[in-house]
Amino acid sequence: MDCLADKITLSIVSHGQASLVRDLLKDLSTLPRQNFEVIITINMPEEESAYQGFSFHLHIIRNAIPKGFGDNHNAAFAHSSTKWFAVVNPDIRIQSLNFETLLSPFEHKPVAAVAPVVVSAGGAVEDSARRFPTFLRFVKRVLFRLRKSDYEVQSVPYQVDWVAGMFVVFRREAFIQVGGFDAHRFYMYLEDADICHRLGKKQWQVLVNPHVQVIHMAQRASRRNLKHMRWHAVSALRFLTGL
């Protein structure tokens, strides 16, 4: 299967983060093969000149009122028609990216989602691949700041419970089968864990591809914003209890 025979859609949501998004778009513009399209969702009004001047196809969705993570990406998915749909955070930077390498694990039929290895600006591997949350794991991460990765990076693509939605590519067929992100139960946070959990119930696999890396500039709002902390706590409670 030639994965690059089909375009990939990159969905980026900006919460007044035009400067970050432009840096990411500049990274994408340097890629030698631009077999992708970009959908930018402007979740709150901002100056849009940062999104002009790029050669690849770029579509902008403007929200009348702010939406949550899953709702925004579901709307972008509805505007797309490509076989591969990628959720990408504005604070991701790309030094190099070979889409053929990134998408190669999809050659295996059961694979629903593939994520690259995510590293910090300093080059340390981040805990973007995780085991499903339990009450104990949540307490360790949030209260005691124990954020050691649940998985060691391997030499070949490897299966994980779930991947954080900083950069993850979905097979369109699988995304549709589970109804996309659950925007009703999760406004912000753990939508990524939830969709991976539901994919697993349908016998789909989630993989990390160690042959591709992206850089996360660590704009972690939930660590310093009470509103985000509340959203995070509510989402955790819903995931852990099934409410």
**What is residue 1's predicted lDDT score, i.e. its pLDDT?**
46
Q: Which domain holds residue 201?
A: 3-241
Q: What is the CATH number of the domain that holds 81?
A: 3.90.550.10
Q: How many domains does the chain have?
A: 1
**What is residue 216's predicted lDDT score, i.e. its pLDDT?**
95
**What is residue 18's predicted lDDT score, i.e. its pLDDT?**
96
**What is residue 33's predicted lDDT score, i.e. its pLDDT?**
83
Copy the structure tokens of residue 93. Answer: 């930077």
- Dist CA 210 CA 178 (whole Å): 26
pLDDT (tens digit per residue) in 203-213: 999 999 999 99
Which pTM value belongs to this model? Answer: 0.88
Q: One digit per residue, pLDDT tens: the chain, 243 residues?
A: 455 457 999 999 999 999 999 999 999 999 988 889 999 999 999 999 999 999 999 999 999 999 999 999 999 999 999 999 999 999 999 988 999 999 999 998 899 999 999 999 999 999 899 998 877 776 666 665 666 778 999 999 999 999 999 999 999 999 999 999 998 887 777 899 999 999 999 999 999 999 999 999 976 554 556 666 665 666 666 777 775
**CA-based nearest residue to 92, from 182, 171, 13:** 13
**CA-based nearest residue to 12, from 66, 78, 61, 64:** 61
- Considering the chain, what percentage of its residues have pLDDT values greater than 90? 71
Q: Give the alpha-carbon dihedral of 48, 50, 56, 59, to 10 degrees.
A: -20
Where residue 45 falls (left for φ over 0; alpha for ψ -120 to 50; beta otherwise) is beta
Interacting residues of 12 by C-beta distance below 8 A, sequence separation 6+: 21, 24, 38, 39, 40, 41, 88, 89, 90
Copy the structure tokens of residue 123. Answer: 């080059």
**What is residue 134's predicted lDDT score, i.e. its pLDDT?**
77
Q: Residue with structure tokens 């001047």?
A: 53
Sign of the Cα torsion 81, 84, 85, 86 reads: negative
**What is residue 62's predicted lDDT score, i.e. its pLDDT?**
97
